[in-house]
Amino acid sequence: MTTSTQAPRRTRIQQEKRELILEAALEVFSTSGFRGSTIDQIAEAAGMSKPNLLYYFRRKEDIHETLMERLLETWLAPLRELDDIGDPMTELRSYIRRKLEMARDFPRESRLFANEILQGAPRIMPLLAGELKTLVDEKAAVIKGWMRAGKIARTDPWHLIFSIWATTQHYADFDVQVRAVLGPNRGGDGRFEDAARFLEQLFLDGLKPKA
């Protein structure tokens, strides 16, 4: 029942301020990376002094660590939901849709994650090789089952998952590029619906013209 790291007792103010700091840190870390961000930046974004911030989080790394722990849970939730019940093609389509919605609604979280991976994942490598790999292997097995049953085409399930991650997260991580290329008209709010339509077709039928 009791975990080795017992939950520390926190006052109401502590809970509120910690939340405020994490929100500010997400903003700063996601656009500058860990090394490129300063405690001052985060403190200012959170509307408090640096020593005050350090009262709630003793080290810069503690903030980042807390942020990453929370992130991984919500980030992997859509994949966890991918289930064997229901039509495979529908399951995959709704997974893609959910991931795209997360790129739209939580772009900072996506960029925070991308920053960490880009820099060699020094702080979450164990999680990748452990929890993440286990989960992906598990879902890859589910997908393989679908292939054996002839429900979807036979391919590499791992690379299929990668391609879903890549295409959806692209709209969060490379957002400024996407908007720059699409221009003011096509790059407006509708770009996510356009992306959803395109990805649905790509993963369903590919590009080969219908005979």
Partner DNA sequence: GCAAATTTTGACCGATTGGACAAACGTTAG
Partner DNA sequence: CTAACGTTTGTCCAATCGGTCAAAATTTGC
Q: What is the closest distance, in whole angstroms, from the C-beta atom of residue 150 to its own copies in the complex?
A: 6
| Residue 198 sits in the site that holds DNA (CB under 7 A) | no
Instruction: Indicate the Cα dihedral angle 174, 106, 159, 179, nearest 10°.
Output: -20
Kindly identify the residues of this chain, within the stretch 50-79, that bind DNA according to CB under 7 A. 50-52, 54-55, 58-61
Answer for which of 19, 49, 84, 117 binds DNA (CB under 7 A) is 49
Phi and psi (nearest 5°) for 174?
A: -105, 30
- CA-based torsion, 37, 40, 44, 48: positive or negative: positive
Kindly identify the residues of this chain, within the stretch 125-184, that bind DNA according to CB under 7 A. none
Q: What is the closest distance, in whole angstroms, from the C-beta atom of residue 195 to DNA in the complex?
A: 35
Cα 109 to Cα 26, 76, 79, 128: the distances in Å are 7, 12, 16, 17
Instruction: Indicate the Cα dihedral angle 88, 137, 96, 108, nearest 10°.
Output: 160
Alpha carbon distance, N-terminus to C-terminus of the chain: 61
Binding mask 162-191 vs its own copies (x if CB under 8 A, - otherwise)?
A: xx-xxx-xxx-xx-xxx-xxxx--x-----
Residue ranges binding its own copies (CB under 8 A): 31-36, 89, 92, 111, 114-115, 117-121, 125, 128-129, 132-133, 136, 150-153, 155-156, 158-160, 162-163, 165-167, 169-171, 173-174, 176-178, 180-183, 186, 194-195, 197-199, 201-210
